[in-house]
Structure 1
Amino acid sequence: MIPSPTTATPESHPDCRADLSQIVALHKAPNAVRIGLESGPLSTWHWHALKAQGLPIVCLDARHAKAALNMQMNKTDKNDAHGLAQIVKAGWYREVGVKSLDSHTIRSMLGARAQLVAMRVEVSNQIRGMLKTFGVVLRRRDGLSFETLVSEACSTDAGRVSHTVRALLAVYSGLKQQILCLDRELARYAKGSTTCRRLMTIPGIGLLTAIAFITAIDDPVRFAKSSSVGAYLGLTPRRYQSGEADHNGKISKCGDPLVRAYLFEAATTLLTRVEKWSALKAWGLRIAKRSGMKKAAVAVARKMAVIMHRLWASGETFRWSSTGSIETA
């Protein structure tokens, strides 16, 4: 057992793979039982690089490692490395599942798209707010895009800020174009993925939700029970129990926030826009009548995640039963 070789980074060394090999050879890692690596920004790259060399690498949960390392009097890199080695030796750690590089590639596209969409909304709101200062309120008209409406407003009522608005409009158009490019790449990926197409047969589940779920889970075998997926994505309530106190709180919101947001949108779509009746929709509407639509959407989102994992793990297809309930066959 050796300390984690986290000293080799792209910023400090020109050839990281060679430096990692030298560090591994220096510590005689081929004879190691386990190699501890704390989760962090470079942990994915380090884990895959060391795994490729056939080393018994283990990625530790940073929160667990921090709780143990905080007991040290002096914090130094050497002490931290020694502490990680002791954690691995004692077995007091929770291993983090490192996703494949292919999943990280698709996840980076989803993250970039979400960021671009947020920027597009911010720019459009900036344009609308700027035009309102001069009494121009943009209203939707059938057949006319946002760019056309802004261009017409600049040529008539908002001539004073036309240069500023056109600069923002150019940014808006560029963001819109790049979002379309990412949408094409994601659609191409979904078309070639059997699992993605299977998950999209679930009512309310669209392309982005299916892809985000697949890349977040990465491997369905990681979960022995499909019901565990809801907790992994932060869709189950927190619980606090101590003595006579025992109460449930709001959902934990652990895991990937983007996947959770997509599942919430999919659940809302099922409850409000999908016309075909199903047992899942009926169950959600009963919760909505009792506790409100927001809680119902969260509950349906959790159940959707469970259904998606079950279909993925079993390889079965989703179908509607003639009685209005959901079955897998």
Structure 2
Amino acid sequence: MASYVGLDVSLAETSVCVLGDKGEVRFEGKARSRPEDLVECIRRCAGDAERVGLETGQTAGVLVRALKEAGLPVVCLETRHAHKALSARANKTDRNDARGLAELMRVGWYREAWVRGASAQAVRSLLLGRRLLMQTKRTLENTLRGAVKRFGLMITKTAGRTFKHRAAAMMDRDPAYAAFAAPLLAVLGTVLAQIASYERQLRAIARGDGTVRRLMTVPGIGYLTALAFTSTLEDPARFKRSEDVGAYLGLTPRVHQSGEIDRSGRITRTGDGMTRSYLFEAASVVLTRITRPSALRSWGLRLQERSGLKKAKVAVARKLAVMMHAIWSDGTEFEWRAAA
């Protein structure tokens, strides 16, 4: 007889529930959240497992890959969908969540989430590391810029000099400012060096990836956007239509329809926020900085005249996502053709 396993994963321990094909509880207990311990527990308590389910989370990728390598039929569940089912229970406990996940496996009412492979996860880790340091860089620069004004100084723009060098030059004018700024400038220098290190690694990956190089032929798309896009989608065959990518990345409007009411709202912003933000930046470049004529730019500018820059950026970002998926799927490059 088949059995169905639910795993409610925590950092140290995982609640395990095994149900039979008629919903009877065959096992409830806990195991350590290490892959080898979970594999041993499932094989011991559910050797005939039909499906093993767990929600997406920080450790989900490692666990799913390990369970698959062990030959177990593991399914990673989309958290938002699973949460709606689990929240119907009166009491939220790890034990109840594990049982609820096992029940979802038994009845088949679940939505499977995509789990990135190890190589895509490695690229994404580099992108996230760089993004974190860029946020730190902005915080440090804004702090130094604000402090200069409080000390009665002014950092002016000088051709060929970075903000770090301009801020350092101010230290000679005020010892109090120097005492405040010197440690922050030292940290800023380290942050800039590590950002450059991340970017060297990411550029090397982009140079060695033919798909990324082809995506970079699209206007506004640099190596960071292309790498974020490919590491998020990972496999273009996941989407039957290129148009579905826009919705996956949260670039389509919410729809509220009930009776005679039918309206569209703001974009859903579901999916990967980093990739979406890179696409917004690329759309802004297409509309405001690139002057070479193309059908994409002409379409975006017409939309900007009708609806404004903000909505035009969203539409162009969605169009870029669709276009990049099509190029990835058919092995072509962007064609610079001006609108007729």
User: Does structure 1 residue 270 correspond to structure 2 residue 272?
Assistant: no
> AA paired with 1:234?
G
Aligned length: 322
Instruction: Report the 3-state secondary structure (helix = DSSP H, G, I; strand = E; otherwise coil) of the residue aligned with 1:320.
Output: coil
Partner of 2:22: none
Q: 1:32 aligns with which of 49, 52, 63?
A: 49
> AA paired with 2:6?
S
Structure 1, unmatched stretches of 5+, are none
> AA paired with 2:147?
M
Q: Report deviation, 1:54.
A: 1.5
CA distance in 2, matches of 1:207, 1:135: 41
- Compute the RMSD of aligned alpha carbons: 1.9
CA distance in 1, matches of 2:163, 2:9: 50
User: Does structure 1 residue 18 correspond to structure 2 residue 20?
Assistant: no
Q: Report deviation, 1:151.
A: 2.1
CA contact (8 A) 1:234 1:255 kept: yes
Q: TM-score, normalised by structure 2?
A: 0.90
Q: Tell which deviates more after alignment, 211-220 or 68-77.
A: 68-77
Partner of 1:144: 161
Q: Report deviation, 1:5.
A: 4.0
Q: Deviations over 1:66-121 (max 9, x none)?
A: 21122223333332222111112212111111111211111111111111111111
CA distance in 1, matches of 2:49, 2:197: 46
Q: Deviations over 1:211-267 (max 9, x none)?
A: 110111111111111000000111110000011111000111111111111101111
CA distance in 2, matches of 1:149, 1:11: 52
Identity of aligned residues (%): 43
Instruction: Report the 3-state secondary structure (helix = DSSP H, G, I; strand = E; otherwise coil) of the residue aligned with 1:239.
Output: strand
Q: Report deviation, 1:288.
A: 0.3
CA distance in 2, matches of 1:236, 1:71: 29
Q: 2:333 aligns with which of 314, 317, 322?
A: 317
Partner of 2:256: 240
Q: Tell which deviates more after alignment, 180-189 or 37-46.
A: 37-46
Q: Deviations over 1:287-324 (max 9, x none)?
A: 00001011111100100000000111111222223xx1
CA distance in 2, matches of 1:121, 1:9: 32
Structure 2, unmatched stretches of 5+, are 15-30
Quick check: which one's strand share is greater?
Answer: 2
CA distance in 2, matches of 1:10, 1:254: 29
User: Does structure 1 residue 41 correspond to structure 2 residue 76?
Assistant: no
Q: Tell which deviates more after alignment, 81-90 or 111-120.
A: 81-90
CA contact (8 A) 1:110 1:212 kept: yes
CA distance in 1, matches of 2:13, 2:195: 31
Q: Report deviation, 1:28.
A: 2.8
CA distance in 2, matches of 1:205, 1:161: 41
Query: Superposed, which structure 2 residues align to 1:35-184 within 5 Å?
Result: 35-156=52-173, 158-184=174-200
CA distance in 2, matches of 1:179, 1:274: 26
CA contact (8 A) 2:5 2:51 kept: no
Q: Report deviation, 1:145.
A: 2.3
Shift of the 8–301 alpha-carbon distance from structure 1 to 2, 3 Å rule, reads closer
CA distance in 2, matches of 1:6, 1:133: 52
Instruction: Report the 3-state secondary structure (helix = DSSP H, G, I; strand = E; otherwise coil) of the residue aligned with 2:262.
Output: strand
CA contact (8 A) 2:9 2:54 kept: no
Partner of 2:302: 286
CA distance in 1, matches of 2:328, 2:281: 21
CA distance in 2, matches of 1:14, 1:56: 20
Instruction: Report the 3-state secondary structure (helix = DSSP H, G, I; strand = E; otherwise coil) of the residue aligned with 1:34.
Output: strand
> AA paired with 2:109?
W
Q: Report deviation, 1:15.
A: 8.8
> AA paired with 1:46?
L
CA distance in 1, matches of 2:232, 2:148: 41
Q: Tell which deviates more after alignment, 19-28 or 4-13.
A: 4-13
